[in-house]
Amino acid sequence: MLILNCPYCGVDADETELAAGGEAHLKRFGPGSSDDELHDYLFTRENPKGVHLERWRHASGCGKWFHAARCTATLEVFGTYKAQVSGPPQEIRDAISAKRPGWSWREFS
């Protein structure tokens, strides 16, 4: 069972209290973008074995969206961070690098 710490209410919430929100840090391509960009924005998703950045919502708790960095192979959680960012903060990157040196995920590493 996944247990994620909600950065808004500080609760160590287990999976049954959370709602998964898919991949993190998607950049929206809307009007004015090319067909390929719109296609990738809509359909192309990371499906890594290893480090993954995701969105979660503390649905049965404070109701806030947040981000989580975890490993899809071991279910290890590297950390959670707030939603108002467009990339993982430095302490999360450091935490991942400590456990998975040389990791990369989309444009982040």
Interaction site with another protein (CB under 8 A): 8-11, 13-14, 16-17, 60-64
How far apart are CB 86 and another protein at their closest, in Å?
A: 21
CB-based contact 52:70 (threshold 8 Å): yes
Nearer to another protein, 55 or 106 (CB): 55
**Using CA atoms, how far apart are residues 109 and 105, in angstroms rounded to an integer?**
6
CA within 13 Å, CB half, 6: 21
How near is the Cβ of 20 to another protein at its closest, in Å? 16
Question: What residue ranges in 24-99 does DSSP mark as E strands?
Answer: 51-57, 65-71, 77-82
Q: How far apart are CA 34 and CA 41, in angstroms?
A: 11
Comparing CB distances to another protein, the nearer of 13 and 24 is: 13
* Shortest reach from residue 12's CB to another protein, in Å: 8
Task: For another protein, give the closer residue by CB, 8 or 103.
Answer: 8
